[in-house]
């Protein structure tokens, strides 16, 4: 589009010189404001309670504001009670109504305190931005409470007291407390970055996405577990079977049944019919939460686990054999079984199978689904396709997601940039194009989108490629030589279960390698930083999330319980505000109920504070660059109005 056409289009929004001047004043004022606070988290793995609490307490930022505003004026119990109200206003108000002898006095005290915290949070934002976040019915009242008036100090206090008294007398105190608390939530996290893996292990992935849909500004860098679910939601049947297998293996069927309304009864009926007398000893689920419902149905779950696993291995074999260009024929394993002897031969060595009852596999055509399996998969796919919430969440993942993101000097991606042993970028075939480095990431991102938005054979090939991204050697989301799921189930020998990581996972702790990656993506190697997830940081073994002399942060700290045995902690948040970078380490979250009633919190430990001394403003950010471009265009429009080349309206 030529500048002239763009300026004429811009004039539709700003029809005269005065409207342009007003917007120029607004944008220049915004440029002078402090940079908003960005929060980076990764590997949530369905840990919805911990994630929601992290959103509400902003990884300790809210408590820090309470300490800054009140210092020693409030004791510890009062601070905890105030924080509990801000985190969970609806539930805390309901609790206080049952215990307070004078609820109006409580309203008065808490309104004054919550308003003070809101003032401290909103001080670095423009009034117009704050007003946009307020419900129309309360915008004027909250605006009066938050912003300084021209009255003398004593008169101002009288004025504010009169407003609060009127709010209480008119029965609006509870709603106002809730609205202001949510305003604090919204502004303590200006932008939220999820660096991959919302799904699997924990039971709350659907709840996490529900909460994300209410967040003002967020983005997602897809992780391998996200791609697994996105492929399943889009129609890759091998990944659909994988999603079911992993969900059952980790006793996580709540996400499917309650989160998305997926009917698993057909799978249960099929499993009971085929494996009714089979003890399914090696197929027992791993229930980290001791769910009594799942304990009662442990045998049924084991049979379902086995049934869908066999179907997965068949569908995977079909897919990799359909794509010889992937060079994954060695991962089609069912034809390597001697069904008479109950053994399998891999790389010239023969191993006994831990389970030889495989009635649904035809040794002459081991990858073919029988009619009952085909009907079952068709039923399950219809259930996925008809789930409105699942399809809504899939759209969210595509609209707010990408394989990587460059933002304000950071390069965000979940797992890896495939590298050769010498540190050069690996060239790999991505659906017919040989690419490496940034081009590989761009091409892969495009293929992921084609699996959803594409048509015809190109869409089908892209949909198949989602399986490669889940388990392929040169996938930037996996980057190991093989995924040994079959071996872990069927072969006792631990050596055959080994998965060799790509060179990236060793070389990326080298500062020069990180600088090379940053330069490849157009960032300044001297000041840029990489943010990864994917590999849990085993702090109990002395590992640190700060790598390559501070060039790379690995922020997978184990939000989900199954990973906390490895990490020894319960997650990280990287916080980037106008003062600099902070890395926060979380301890395990007790429960939502404890947080509401006793004000218990996630205990956070500061690992890093990297403050430059010079405060960053919006003009110093990527958003600032966009605003400067808008200012330049508006100045051209103003010039056109003033020289008469465009007529004002």
What is the spatial distance between Cα 84 and Cα 172, in angstroms, rounded to a whole number?
A: 20
Q: Give pLDDT, residue 155.
A: 65
- Return the bridge partners of 428, or none: 435
Specify the residue for token string 């002078």: 32
Using CA atoms, how far residue 503 sits from 3, 59, 163, 418, 473, in Å, is 47, 33, 64, 7, 11
Distance of CA 405 to the CA centre of its chain: 13
Per-residue b/e over 605-619, b at no fewer than 16 CB within 10 Å?
Answer: eebbeeeeeeebbbb
Q: 132-173: per-residue pLDDT in tens? A: 888 888 888 888 888 765 556 666 678 878 888 888 888 888
Structure tokens at 507: 């070389």
Q: Contact, 531 vs 546, CB < 8 A?
A: no
SS3 sequence of 501-543: ECCHHHHCCCHHHHHHHHHHCCCCCCCCEEEECCCCCCHHHCC
298 CB-contact burial (10 Å; exposed 0-12 / middle 13-18 / buried 19+): middle
- Please report which helix (H) or strand (E) contains residue 117, including its range: helix 103-122
The 3-state DSSP composition of the chain as helix, strand, coil percent (nearest 5) reads: 55, 10, 30
**Non-local CB neighbours of 399 within 8 Å, separated by 6+ positions:** none
Q: Give pLDDT, residue 585.
A: 85
What is the spatial distance between Cα 546 and Cα 556, in angstroms, rounded to a whole number?
A: 11
**Non-local CB neighbours of 589 within 8 Å, separated by 6+ positions:** 49, 50, 53, 570, 595, 602
What is the spatial distance between Cα 577 and Cα 445, in angstroms, rounded to a whole number?
A: 29
Q: Give pLDDT, residue 564.
A: 81
Strand pairing category for 529-532 and 552-554: parallel
Closest Cα partner for 94 from 597, 602, 600, 599? Answer: 597
- Neighbouring CB atoms inside 10 A of 603's CB total 13
Threshold 0.85, pTM exceeds? yes
**Non-local CB neighbours of 459 within 8 Å, separated by 6+ positions:** 450, 451
- Return the bridge partners of 435, or none: 428
**DSSP summary character for residue 258:** I
Q: Contact, 536 vs 196, CB < 8 A?
A: no
What is the spatial distance between Cα 529 and Cα 548, in angstroms, rounded to a whole number?
A: 10
Q: 224-245: per-residue pLDDT in tens? A: 999 999 999 999 999 999 999 9
What is the spatial distance between Cα 318 and Cα 88, in angstroms, rounded to a whole number?
A: 50
- Neighbouring CB atoms inside 10 A of 544's CB total 13
Residues of the chain with pLDDT under 50: none
- Neighbouring CB atoms inside 10 A of 501's CB total 13
């Amino acid at each position: 589009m030529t500048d002239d056409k763009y300026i004429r289009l811009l004039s539709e929004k700003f029809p005269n010189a005065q409207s342009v001047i007003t917007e120029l004043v607004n944008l220049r004022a915004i440029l002078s404001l402090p940079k908003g606070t960005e929060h980076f988290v990764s590997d949530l793995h369905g840990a919805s309670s911990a994630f929601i609490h992290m959103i509400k307490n902003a990884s300790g930022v809210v408590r820090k504001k309470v300490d800054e505003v009140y210092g020693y004026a409030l004791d510890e119990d009062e601070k905890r009670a105030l924080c509990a109200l801000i985190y969970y206003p609806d539930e805390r108000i309901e609790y206080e109504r049952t215990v307070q002898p004078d609820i109006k006095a409580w309203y008065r005290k808490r309104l004054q305190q919550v308003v003070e915290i809101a003032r401290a949070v909103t001080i670095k934002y423009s009034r117009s931005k704050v007003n946009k976040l307020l419900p129309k019915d309360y915008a004027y009242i909250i605006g009066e409470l938050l912003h300084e008036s021209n009255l003398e100090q004593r008169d101002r206090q009288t004025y504010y007291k009169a407003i609060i008294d009127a709010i209480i007398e008119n029965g609006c105190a509870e709603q106002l407390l809730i609205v202001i608390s949510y305003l604090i939530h919204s502004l303590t996290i200006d932008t939220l970055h999820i660096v991959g893996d919302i799904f699997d292990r924990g039971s709350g992935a659907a709840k996490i996405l529900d909460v994300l849909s209410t967040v003002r500004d967020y983005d997602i860098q897809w992780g391998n577990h996200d791609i697994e679910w996105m492929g399943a939601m889009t129609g890759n049947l091998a990944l659909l079977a994988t999603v079911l297998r992993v969900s059952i293996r980790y006793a996580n069927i709540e996400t499917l049944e309650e989160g998305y309304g997926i009917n698993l009864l057909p799978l249960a009926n099929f499993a009971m019919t085929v494996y009714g007398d089979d003890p399914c000893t090696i197929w027992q689920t791993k229930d980290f939460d001791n769910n009594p419902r799942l304990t009662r149905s442990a045998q049924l779950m084991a049979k379902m686990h086995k049934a869908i696993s066999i179907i997965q291995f068949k569908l995977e074999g079909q897919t990799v054999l359909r794509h010889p260009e992937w060079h994954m024929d060695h991962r089609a394993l069912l034809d390597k079984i001697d069904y008479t002897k109950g053994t399998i031969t891999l790389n010239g060595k023969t191993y006994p199978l831990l389970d030889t009852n495989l009635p649904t596999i035809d040794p002459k055509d081991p990858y073919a689904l029988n009619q009952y399996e085909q009907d079952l998969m068709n039923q399950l796919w219809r259930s996925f396709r008809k789930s409105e919430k699942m399809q809504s969440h899939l759209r969210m993942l595509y609209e707010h997601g990408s394989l990587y993101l460059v933002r304000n000097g950071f390069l965000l991606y979940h797992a890896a940039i495939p590298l050769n042993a010498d540190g050069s970028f690996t060239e790999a075939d991505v659906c017919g194009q040989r690419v490496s480095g940034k081009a590989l990431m761009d091409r892969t991102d495009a293929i992921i989108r084609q699996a959803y938005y594409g048509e015809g054979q190109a869409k089908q090939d892209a949909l198949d490629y989602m399986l490669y991204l889940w388990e392929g050697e040169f996938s930037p989301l996996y980057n190991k030589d093989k995924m040994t799921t079959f071996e872990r189930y069927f072969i006792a020998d631990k050596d055959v279960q080994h998965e060799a990581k790509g060179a990236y996972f060793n070389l990326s702790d080298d500062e020069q390698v990180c600088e090379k990656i940053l330069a490849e993506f157009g960032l300044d190697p001297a000041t840029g930083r990489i943010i990864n997830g994917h590999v849990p940081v085993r702090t109990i073994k002395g590992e640190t999330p700060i790598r390559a002399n501070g060039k790379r942060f690995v922020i997978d700290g184990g939000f989900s319980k199954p990973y906390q045995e490895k990490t020894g902690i319960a997650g990280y948040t990287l916080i980037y505000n106008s003062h600099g970078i902070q890395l926060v380490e979380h301890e395990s979250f007790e429960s939502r109920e404890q947080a509401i009633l006793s004000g218990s919190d996630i205990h956070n430990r500061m690992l890093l504070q990297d403050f430059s001394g010079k405060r960053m403003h919006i003009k110093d950010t990527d958003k600032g660059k966009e605003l400067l471009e808008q200012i330049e265009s508006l100045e051209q429009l103003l010039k056109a109005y003033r020289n008469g080349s465009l007529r004002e309206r």
